[in-house]
A and B are shown apart, each in its own frame.
Chain A
Amino acid sequence: MKVAGIYLAVGQSRRRGEPKLSQELSPGKTVGGAAIQQLMRCGIDPLIVVVRADDPLGWLPSASEDTERWRTETSFTAHLGLSFSLRCGMNAVLPAKPDALLVAQADQPLIQADSIERMISVLREHPELDFAASGNDGSPMPPALFNKTLFPVLERLDGDKGAKEIFESSDYRGVVLEWGSKGGFRKEEAAEKDKGALKRPRK
């Protein structure tokens, strides 16, 4: 199963005047860049990092790190809603004809490679599923892996709608993989609190 990825880094959040994605979790590892390094360990190819046109991109991993498999794509339409950034990424990634598409958001620095690999494994073993999403106390959330059966649906999302309506629709079959409390997929807000005591996903 060929898995491609879209890493949505189009937010403009700042903390204390500094872009959140540029904040360092540890020396050399930024909030925005940490997950890219993990995703690269999962065989995702290509990974499209969707960025804003005005982003100086200082948070990206160094150019020497797997840049053959990941690249940036500038979303000029990011302000029109998340769906436009997603389409920007999909237009870049679909020519590679992937079987599944991982969609992750850049404010989730605690993404772990082995968690993503589990997600891929589930979809590989159960190709009848349309998606595998991460869980947050039962609620599906990114990162999520979408079977190619859902690509046309993802392309039709509108405005600021993310994949929530897909997760909630009875039209599609999916699983939610709960990684445990304070586990790997919590958002960046949690990351600050948990810094230094990051928990790996339960196995």
Chain B
Amino acid sequence: MKESYRFKGGFILLFILTLVLAGCAQQSSTPPEPANNTNNEAGSNAPADETPAAEPEKELPRVAFVYIGTPGDGGWTYEHDQGRLYLEEQLGIKADVVENVPESADAERVITELAQNHDIIFTTSFGYMDYTLNVANKFPEVVFLHVSGYKTSENMGTYFGKNYQASYLSGIAAGKMTKNNTIGYIGAFPIPEVIYNINAFTLGARSVNPDVTVNVVWSNTWYDPTIERQAAESLLDKGADVLLAYQDSPATLQAAAERGAMAGGNGSDMTRFAPDAYLTNPVWHWGPYYVKVVQEVIDGTWTSEPYVGDLNDGMVGLAPLGPSVPEDVKQLVEETKQKIASGELHVFTGPILDAAGEVKVAEGAMMSDEEILSSSWFVQGVEGTIPQ
């Protein structure tokens, strides 16, 4: 802290502009006075307190979230915000939120501004990965948690879940509900996270209906309801009667409902947007993880890790199947869910063929987490391309 002193005889010297020069000349020759420091530091002349001091209450960390959209998206960001609210309720923390932050250099500026006076920062979109890492390297005392990425550092962890488990279950429902075996899927970006969810969805659909094909279109956006709707309508025009969307809004579901098709979205239960047309989709429950991390930081036990949740710890879930889905399908999905949760069924177990019919995973073999997380090819039954 700068040495304390003040102008002699006044709290702030007031200059009238006409007197500025003279005023400054006078003051510049005035030696500064030492500060009247009334705040005795520990170890000063104060007598030692004989009674042991009570352990000071741990200060709550300052927490911030960076969102790609708004909680009003009804999907991805909505669920992160639900997690944030849960965290606030559980730990009595008031977190700061910054919405609509593009996955660009703007993100690095925002994360930097937050790092300058926060202790923990959650960056909730894949495209923030490098920006988060850059800022983490500059602020080693701040803890950063980035969703769905693969880069970590001593003060930056990642978190995500095996949502492909729920995608597989969604696929079972879709495979059972399609009448013409034509399913459409709107993918956000051709990145492994989306690709392995499309694959899991297709494997699930074909496990109950081998005649199914899944047509994929890319929207190249996480959240743009207009573009998402256009993509959905293009798939409906091609004859799809069931749609799934790896997007952050319910636009696909709404488009499907208008055309008498069924659909699901991503990230959150979207029943309320079109109940009769609603199929199901993977959902996220971030709250318990947020509480865990922040509590660990408070306790001083946090260490960087790539945290992966699943159906068992509840980070990943499946939204309730829509009211139009028959009971026998609901039961089948539930039974399969139990098999996955128990480890009896691994979604990516061979034989798995790629879209060209070549064996990618031999019978009985299982894809490793690393292989899943670097997925760059479609399974058999997917119709679409992966831009390189």
A88-B109, A126-B24, A176-B12 known; A80+B96 contact, CB < 8 A: yes
Contact of A178 among B7, B16, B109 (CB under 8 A): B16
**Looking at the complex, which one of B20, B28, B98, B100 makes contact with A177 (CB distance below 8 Å)?**
B20
One digit per residue, 1 when the CB lies within 8 angstroms of any chain B CB and 0 when it does not, for chain A 174-191 equals: 111111100000000000
**Which of B112-120, B201-209, B266-274 lines the interface with chain A?**
B112-120
**Which chain B residues numbered 2 to 19 have a C-beta less than 8 Å away from chain A?**
2, 4-7, 11-18
Say yes or no: is A67 at the interface (Cβ < 8 Å to chain B).
no
Report the minimal beta-carbon distance from A88 to chain B, rounded to whole angstroms.
6
Asked if B116 and A155 make an inter-chain contact with CB atoms under 8 angstroms apart, the answer reads yes
The binding surface of chain B is classed by DSSP as: mixed
Whether A118 and B11, one on each chain, are in contact in the complex, defined by CB atoms closer than 8 angstroms, is no
How far in angstroms is the closest Cβ of chain B from A136?
Answer: 11
Stretch among A36-44, A96-104, A165-173 lining the B interface: A165-173
| Of A76, A88, A91, A118, the contact of B17 (CB 8 Å cutoff) | A118
- Which residues of B have CB within 8 Å of A170? 4-6, 11, 35-36
Point out the residue from B18, B24, B28 that lies within 8 Å of A202, measured CB to CB. B18
Contacts of A125 in B (CB 8 A): 21, 24
- Closest B residue by C-beta to A114: B17
Residues of B within 8 A of A168 (CB): 11-12
Name A44-88 residues within 8 Å CB distance of B.
53, 73-74, 76-77, 80, 83-84, 87-88
* B15 close to A178 (CB less than 8 A): yes
Complexed CA–CA distance, A122 and B24 (Å): 8
Q: List which B92-107 residues lie within 8 A (CB) of chain A.
A: 96, 98-101, 106
Q: Is the CB of B117 within 8 A of A156?
A: yes
Question: How many A-B contacts if CB must be within 8 Å?
Answer: 99
- Whether A171 contacts B20 by the Cβ 8 Å rule is no
Query: A residues bordering B, Cβ < 8 Å?
Result: 53, 73-74, 76-77, 80, 83-84, 87-88, 91-92, 115, 118, 122, 125-126, 128-130, 135, 138, 140, 149, 153, 155-156, 158, 167-168, 170-180, 201-203
Q: How far is the CB of A77 from chain B (nearest CB, A)?
A: 5
Q: For the complex, is B23 an interface residue (Cβ under 8 Å from A)? A: yes
- Check if A175 sits within 8 Å of B15, measured CB to CB: yes
CB distance from B290 to the nearest CB of A (A): 19
Known: A135-B14, A170-B11, A173-B5. A77 touches B35 (CB 8 A): no
List of A residues within 8 angstroms of B15 by Cβ: 122, 135, 175-178
Asked whether B46 is an interface residue with its Cβ less than 8 Å from the other chain, the reply is: no
Q: Is the CB of B14 within 8 A of A126?
A: no
B1 at the interface (CB under 8 A from A): yes
Give the complex CA separation of A176 and B17 in angstroms: 9
